[in-house]
A = this chain, B = another copy of it.
Amino acid sequence: MSDSAFWRELGQQLRVDSIRSSDAAASGHPTSSMSAADLIAVLMANHLHYDFDKPDDPRNDHLIFSKGHASPLYYSFLKAAGAITDDELLTFRKLGSRLEGHPTPVLPWVDVATGSLGQGLPIGVGVALAGKRLDQLPYRVWVLCGDSEFAEGSIWEAFEHAAFNGLDNLTAIIDVNRLGQTRETMHGWDLRSYADRARAFGWHAIEIDGHDVDAIDRAYTEAAEAHDRPTVIVAKTKKGKGASEVEDKEGKHGKPLSDPKKAIEELGGERSLTVSVAKPTGNAEPHRIEAGDVSWPQWGPDDEVATRRAYGDALAALGSERTDVVALDGEVSNSTYSELFAKAHPDRYFEMFIAEQQLVAGAVGLQVRHYRPFASTFAAFFSRAYDFVRMAAISRAHMCLAGSHAGVAIGEDGPSQMALEDLAIFRAIHTSTVLYPSDPNQAAALVRAMADYPGIAYMRTSRGATPTIYGPDDAFEIGGSAVLRSSDEDQVTLIGAGVTLHEALKAADELSAQGVAARVIDLYSIKPVDEETVRQAAADTGAIITVEDHWPEGGLGDAVLAALAEVENVRVHKLAVTGMPGSGKPTELLHEFGIDADAIVAAAQDLVRTPAGAK
């Protein structure tokens, strides 16, 4: 059998197996798989370099299904490659199966979870950046995209960054099957509309018939030979190709075929072809960066320093200590202070400009290659990339995010720049860690701690300078807290973090002068939260004030309440920002929104005065 004939047969097998697996699951997206079957057949048979026995081989190519709903095709590809059995193929979408509705890294060959469209390509940019700038290995990154997902702006962030960085190791393949979930896409089969956009963004673009295996083969060869720029292959295909029940028909998205038997017959029946996918060659090892001198930053009791500054100093030091640490920023590195890392380690700094989705996707891509990314921007602007963070959790990604300029304490810039929801949204990420340091030595210690902590770690840093209250050798654990004022006579507990911790300390002094003993807890680890210390405070004082520069929902106060859910005999009063702020000086705004020392004192007096049981 000629190569072309084999590729065509293989494509038919991938279609048949996509139909069979979806039929066994009684759900799934066979038609979206069938359109791209020839593209994947030729790729695996003649272009992909991958050792399925060693998914961690650094020389492996990366294949990302940005159109994650084509999972039947992906799993059929794994079967054809000999990575999974036919029996496992038919467990698709069943409880406990590794073959989930959309691919996740539960399978060792899957780099990242997809299924939220427009994410695979920007993550692929991150992997390609790792290959080009860090690993300096010749692996290629192949990303299969759907045409519908080109409506997502994140795709164009990826196009911009791939071209700007000259990622000729990246190939995007667009499966232009014309049909979305409910209707034709904006561009139908107008291949030129995609190619023109891509070329305007600086890519090499090739338009082909996505069912012509020889044209596909030539396009991959051309893509691999392209220099200085990424390549996009714009492939005209038919959704449901080869099965008369569904081919190029509307209303056939995301459901199994009603007559799979007939379709399989039309496709020439079941096959059991296997492909020995080419293994990567050469002895290449990832490029090693040498560790440099480390001088860990420290601050004395007289220093007033913003935690964002401490973040930058610590990150730069960490970069000297650990050569796997890399940093990315959304063009605000002089605000987040990631610029200190950029200056110390320019080869490991990635400027992602004002493209927060690509910022987070880049971090996810870099951690695929086992780098430890720290991505930073204003805390408010991580909300722009929240779906990417959500999906990163499903990808079981390990990465660190740092958001500066939190809360009304930023002052004059106004509400668009004030993160008042970041604690809530990061707490609601599976496996997340949420840190909010209150002093520079603590911030620095937590930067080091988060680098090794599994999952997605988020640090909220403050814009304004705050006093240094800890020593450089004080230890801070993720999941811990610090009790700063404590006595046997405590009548009330004040819990804050970051800027409000300092207000709580002032309030405790004032309360003390008024004859009220107040415990003060620095709850720098919002998630996981130090339940033991919080519960002890509840048992000891029975009255707790939480104070946070955040909306009342989902932040520090709610973390405390959750720790006390099953505890009786404690009253908690939450102080948080309840009105929409405008501009003003930081101290003015802390006062106006009732989260400064005055407000804490008033609330504590009120809580202490009110007899237990009165509310």
In the complex, how many angstroms separate the beta carbon of A534 from the nearest chain B beta carbon?
13
Residue of chain B at shortest CB distance from A579: B430
> Which A residues form the contact surface with B (CB < 8 A)?
25, 27-28, 68, 93-97, 99-102, 104, 106, 113-118, 148-149, 151-157, 160, 164, 180-183, 185-186, 193, 196-197, 199-201, 331-335, 339, 351, 353-358, 380-381, 383-384, 386-387, 390-391, 393-394, 412-417, 420-421, 424-425, 427-431, 527, 551-555, 557-558, 561-562, 565-574, 580, 582-585, 588-589, 592, 612-613, 615
Question: In the assembly, what is the distance between CA of A558 and CA of B333, in Å?
Answer: 35
Cβ of A82 to closest chain B Cβ, rounded Å: 23
| Cβ distance A135 to chain B, nearest Cβ, rounded Å | 24
CB distance from A195 to the nearest CB of B (A): 9
Please judge, given known A-B contacts A154-B153, A383-B387, A562-B553, whether A571 and B568 are in contact too, CB under 8 Å: yes
Query: Given A333-B182, A568-B612, does the pair A148, B417 have CB atoms closer than 8 Å?
Result: no
Q: Is the CB of B182 within 8 A of A104?
A: no
In the bound complex, residues from chain B placing their C-beta under 8 Å from that of A117 are 354
Are A566 and B615 CB-contacts (below 8 A) given A95-B585, A104-B414, A182-B333?
yes
Shortest distance between the CB of A203 and any CB in chain B (Å): 11
Residue contact A160 to B154, C-beta cutoff 8 Å: no
28 residue pairs bridging A and B, Cβ less than 8 Å apart? A96-B582, A96-B584, A97-B583, A100-B414, A101-B583, A106-B582, A113-B415, A116-B380, A151-B157, A151-B160, A152-B354, A153-B155, A153-B357, A160-B186, A164-B186, A182-B333, A197-B197, A356-B387, A384-B387, A390-B421, A394-B580, A420-B430, A554-B558, A557-B565, A562-B574, A565-B573, A567-B615, A569-B613
The complex places the Cα of A117 from the Cα of B386 at a distance, in Å, of 16
Contacts of A428 in B (CB 8 A): 420-421, 424-425, 551, 553-555
Number of copies: 2
Residues on B with beta carbons closer than 8 Å to the beta carbon of A558: 553-554, 558, 561-562
For the complex, give the distance between the alpha carbons of A417 and B116 in Å. 7
For the complex, give the distance between the alpha carbons of A573 and B565 in Å: 7
**Considering residues A152, A157, A332, A613, which has the most beta carbons from chain B within 10 angstroms of its beta carbon?**
A152
Interchain CB contact under 8 A, A416 and B430: no
CB-defined contacts of A585 to chain B, threshold 8 Å: 95
Known contacts A354-B117, A414-B115; A565/B554 CB under 8 A: no
Residue of B nearest to A330 (CB): B151
